[in-house]
Structure 1
Amino acid sequence: MMDQPYSTLSDTALADLLKSGDQSAFAQIYDRYWRVIYGHVYKMLQDEEEAKDVLQEVFSEIWVKREQPYTNLSGYLYVSARHKVLNLIRKNKYQSAYLSSLAGFAADHSTATLERLDEKDLAAAIEREIQALPPRMKEVFELSRKENLSYKEIALRLGISDKTVKKQMYKSLQQIRLNLKDAGAMTIVILASMRG
């Protein structure tokens, strides 16, 4: 097996080598997955530094816990990253102007609610709420969250002022938040992950 370059090894083979403390196997795992994990985390946090910190924690942890069996390496990394993002939100360490109108809402819900949620159901519920928005509000919301346009870019495209865009976004988030108030803080994560 060691005649093969590390880049050609399967995740399972790399996990076995990692277990024995093989630093090259760890480096290969990092090279293989850091971009996708970083992208996943950044999509939720919209903050470069926070995303880098989470990425570092995820890979540090996999080295520290290298003796445990990793049957699904990519799945483990994805879930680990997601949990770390949720913990950041729970501890109120993460703030973003983009989600400031929802920040207080998240703090009002218990973490137990968070754990019971089915992400797919919630994403579908949010999508229903977006579709139910008044036409202009919906258009502004989708340009921001799905096409990842800035308020300025949306204003230019629709021929309205930045201020109007900001107001429409605030109203959209408020309306979605009110209609989904039983869903808990996961709403924030889903809304964030819809961006881009």
Structure 2
Amino acid sequence: MSSTRMLIDLELIALLKNDDRDAFAEIYKRYWTVMYMHALKMIRDEDDARDIVQEVFTALWIKRQSISPDTNLAGFLFISTKNKVLDLIARNRVKFEYLDSLAAFAGAHNNQTLGRIEEKEIMAALDREIVLLPPKMKQVFEMRIYQHCTYKEIADELNLSDKTVKKQISNAIKIIRPRLQHLSAIVLILSGL
């Protein structure tokens, strides 16, 4: 081929279908900048625009045998570029939705997991302190904390007065609270007793 610069698009397509690399190079030279500007206008990202145009021209070479001889080359390249841009936008939207969903899921489960870990640590610290209480006070306090018994139920079961049960729990709290002040949740638990 003497000069591909003077050929019209239909002639370039015919040559391209016959695996003419010079014809492909001429198409690339003629349309790369126009396709790049078209992609850039749509997505406003230079790297993505370059990648899209590269994909369009790669696809053109790969599909060169199946291109119709009377194809409007400029129209074909514009539509291919637009479709690649739309594909990228759709992939990014799906990716961002997935990432948002994943972040929300991870955040919710991390908070739940942290909550469970903190709860276990708090209960372990409380258990260690309850063990150190005097036996009767320990029994009354455990019935209140673990079995959720009312003062009346504890009094009836242990043959104590309601007033004694209240005093035992109050004394247990006075002993335990200062030892566990670094755990703010314990203070709230003990306040509710």
TM-score, length of structure 1 as denominator length = 0.46
TM-score, length of structure 2 as denominator length = 0.46
By relative contact order (CA 8 Å, sep 6+), the higher-ranking structure is 1
Question: Which has the higher Rg, Structure 1 or Structure 2?
Answer: 2
- Structure 1 or 2: more helix by fraction: 2
